[in-house]
Amino acid sequence: MAGNTRSNLLVVLAIAAVAIFWYRSTVYEPAATFVRPKLVVLTGGDGPYWQLMVEGARQAATDFDADIELLMPEGDDDFKQQNIMLMALKPEGTDGVAISPLDADKQTRFINSLSDQAIVVTVDSDAPLSDRSCYVGASNYAAGQKCAEQVQEAIPAGGRVVVCLANLTKDNLIERRRGMEEFFAESAEESGDQAPQYEIVEWLTDDGDRKRCREQLVEYLQQHDDIDCVVGLNAFHGGEILAAVEQVGREDQMKIVAFDTEQATLDGVADGKIHATIAQDPYQYGYAAVRQLASLCRCDEQRRAPVGMRSTYNVDTRVLHQQDVDEYREKFLKNTKQDGKS
């Protein structure tokens, strides 16, 4: 009798062990929702900056086994063209979308509609009030503050500053502007009236048009001979600002602070003609955005963060001075496997 009881107990324990194993497996192991997710990346243009982002996205699609469609508006910061592409996106058959919104306010409802049927992340620039799952990129507020610091370093006695930017609708530019303005305001408050004063006298918008950027800056500088520093907040501005400053013959009197790492900008920094540039990593932006999408698509829905949460994958910026350019180029080309011609 005791033997039968022991045998029955062993059977019960074995069944219980199998049941526990099955329960733990079904509860704790996320289901593979998509075997090979279908992803779309919609950039803000087709210039060198965006080409690097696309290269990163392609590499991540290979590394994380995803199909990827790349949509690139012609030129840079063409809101109308990007919005047409956004509205034409068909979520049926699309598992995830990465977008760099050119006008967060106007595009939020389209992003929300898209996120009802696909996973959406923003990259490079955010739409913070949308239902996107994650933002991939830098803190543009912090980048704006770094930029203001470089202005102080370039003209330590203070002075009048002109800022070039594509528009005042894109979230990353709004945040960079806010970072600069608040840095100067806080610095003036802390230092008192006797400290050097910095005044941003003009914000010149160009809608991403290189020719317009140069022409309107030349015109402004010809009319104002009291400008001490010019700042560019978009990737193409460094080279255009330098050309404009040289055209009016003020390269020896005026300092330049730029953003990003187009060849003309890096050449200007290396030659000492541009004081510094705030380097982003568009390759890493594209790579991380696709990696996030692939991971979210394969993750059990219950384990995903609720849409609309302010989830951020931060990729920090770096200040480059003349002595940093060679090391940056060597490291960057090695990391991205680029030939320097993008």
pLDDT tens digits, residue range 150-185?
A: 999 999 999 999 999 999 999 999 999 999 999 999
Which CATH number among 1.10.20.10, 3.40.50.2300, 1.10.3720.10, 3.40.50.300 corresponds to the domain 140-279?
A: 3.40.50.2300
Q: What is the pLDDT of residue 30?
A: 42
Q: What whole-number distance in Å separates Cα of residue 44 and Cα of residue 54?
A: 11
Reported for 192-200, long-range contacts at CB under 8 A and 24+ positions apart, including other chains, are 195/158, 196/152, 196/155, 196/156, 196/157, 196/158, 196/159, 197/158, 198/148, 198/151, 198/152, 198/155, 198/158, 198/159, 198/161, 199/159, 199/160, 199/161, 200/161, 200/162, 200/163
Maximum average pLDDT range among 71-80, 296-305, 326-335: 71-80
Q: Where are the domains of the chain?
A: 38-137+282-315, 140-279
The one-letter code for the residue type at 259 is F
pLDDT average, residue stretch 226-247: 98
Q: What is the pTM of this model?
A: 0.82
Cα angle 70, 314, 107; round to 5: 50
**What is residue 177's predicted lDDT score, i.e. its pLDDT?**
98
Query: What is the band of 76 on the pLDDT scale with cuts at 50, 70, 90?
Result: confident
pLDDT given at position 81: 95
What's domain 38-137+282-315's superfamily in CATH? Response regulator (3.40.50.2300)
Task: Say whether pLDDT at 244 is over 90.
Answer: yes
**Domain 140-279 in the same topology as domain 38-137+282-315:** yes
More confident residue, 191 or 100: 100
Asked if residue 13 has pLDDT above 80, the reply is no
